[in-house]
Chain A
């Protein structure tokens, strides 16, 4: 967003640079969609493979992926605002503001993943679907949620800060990029958590 001074110099005229939004947004969207289309098949195979490993995961994997995307999307959105308003400076230093943003994302990953584990168990019991014990299911959710949260929060900070430094608007870049990377990282983390619990 560009804020230009009006000709008189006294009146602030706020303009939106539609061209810049379009160029940045379209390139990112195109790249993300191509990656999703190309690698979507591999991702689906991985998901199917994991789901078959343990009963109950078929219910839990989609909401865990969704949760991951949402926690990261919100972090990306806050970082965009923080960089624009100057609350967070565009350098890779762990200031108090940045720490508050990351820590809250990690806490959310932890408690919301546990909630998803419990809810998935409840759904399996209610619908009569086969599932492993509630403790194992919640443990998988917690390990997968927390590890993927840690990895992706770090990535999110990098993408937001670097795009801002490069003169791009992090609001256009961060959340689409992280949505594309996020599913892959999360599926791998769920897989590792399953191996750990088994």
Chain B
């Protein structure tokens, strides 16, 4: 008898996979209906893949870490008195701030090289950074909630968290970017 059963993995994963794919398809649709608004702003279309990619990766790392921690018993599915959980969240938040800072700065340079006025380049840089920072609580909250709920219900968080979190981020990444454009007024 093995710890991992093919039957269990397939039964736990199959129902969520097509659903997640449809949510991501909806994110693409959301992008498509806003494409005219977006295309007016240079570089914004180029910002969609990295914000979804980085967001998804941060969620995936936190999700994988929490799943391992829940299986090992170093984190329990409750919020109070969880040192390991706090440490993991802190690491994810710091990682997000760091990576969004670096990629925002590179967008500033890309914009300058492409001949965008410096003031507008700074605005673009802030748009990406603000969108990224708005995404962080979405990533952390949805990842922790999904990991805890799936584990408490007897599901393996390894099967559930990454697919669902990346789909949530596909939708919210585009949304945060749209809101950030409004805030910065590019």
A interface with B by C-beta (< 8 Å): 1, 3, 14-16, 18, 21-22, 25-26, 28-30, 32-33, 36-37, 40, 59, 62-64, 66-67, 69-71, 73-74, 76-78, 80-82, 84-85, 87, 96-97, 100-101, 103-105, 107-108, 111-112, 115-116, 119, 169-172, 174-176, 179-180
With A87-B4, A115-B18, A179-B56 known to touch, is A78 a contact of B61 (CB < 8 Å)?
no
Q: What are 24 A-B pairs at a CB distance below 8 A?
A: A15-B83, A16-B86, A18-B87, A21-B88, A26-B99, A33-B50, A36-B50, A37-B46, A40-B50, A73-B162, A78-B156, A87-B4, A100-B5, A104-B6, A107-B10, A108-B13, A112-B18, A174-B64, A175-B60, A175-B162, A176-B57, A176-B61, A179-B56, A180-B53
B94 touches A63 (CB 8 A): no
Shortest CB–CB separation between residue B48 and chain A, in angstroms?
10
In the bound complex, residues from chain A placing their C-beta under 8 Å from that of B167 are: 66, 70
B20-28, B117-125, B176-184: which lies at the A interface? B20-28
Shortest CB–CB separation between residue B105 and chain A, in angstroms?
12
With A25-B95, A26-B99 known to touch, is A1 a contact of B61 (CB < 8 Å)?
no
Listed from nearest, the 6 A-B pairs whose CB atoms lie closest are A16-B87, A63-B21, A73-B162, A104-B9, A70-B163, A171-B64
Q: Which label, helix, strand, loop or mixed, suits the secondary structure of the B interface?
A: helix
B33-41, B67-75, B133-141: which lies at the A interface? B67-75
Enumerate B69-93 residues with CB–CB distance to A below 8 Å: 69, 71-72, 74, 83-84, 86-88, 90-91
Report which residue of A81, A116, A169, A172 has the largest number of chain B beta carbons within 10 angstroms of its beta carbon: A81
With the chains together, A119 CA to B64 CA distance in Å? 29
Q: Could you tell me how many residues of chain B have their Cβ less than 8 Å away from some Cβ of chain A?
A: 61
A15 touches B64 (CB 8 A): no
Shortest CB–CB separation between residue B45 and chain A, in angstroms?
10
A70 touches B88 (CB 8 A): no
With the chains together, A179 CA to B60 CA distance in Å? 10
With the chains together, A115 CA to B28 CA distance in Å? 19
In the bound complex, residues from chain A placing their C-beta under 8 Å from that of B158 are: 74, 77-78, 80-81
Shortest CB–CB separation between residue B85 and chain A, in angstroms?
9
With A29-B58, A33-B50, A66-B24 known to touch, is A100 a contact of B64 (CB < 8 Å)?
no
With the chains together, A179 CA to B166 CA distance in Å? 11
With the chains together, A16 CA to B89 CA distance in Å? 10
With the chains together, A115 CA to B154 CA distance in Å? 26
A26 contact from B46, B49, B95, Cβ within 8 A:
B95
B6 touches A107 (CB 8 A): yes
In the bound complex, residues from chain B placing their C-beta under 8 Å from that of A14 are: 74, 83-84
With the chains together, A33 CA to B96 CA distance in Å? 13
Q: Which residue of A lies closest to B162 (CB)?
A: A73
B25 touches A77 (CB 8 A): no
Interface: B111 (CB within 8 A)? no
In the bound complex, residues from chain B placing their C-beta under 8 Å from that of A103 are: 6
B67 touches A77 (CB 8 A): yes
B91 touches A25 (CB 8 A): yes
With the chains together, A26 CA to B101 CA distance in Å? 12
Shortest CB–CB separation between residue B170 and chain A, in angstroms?
8
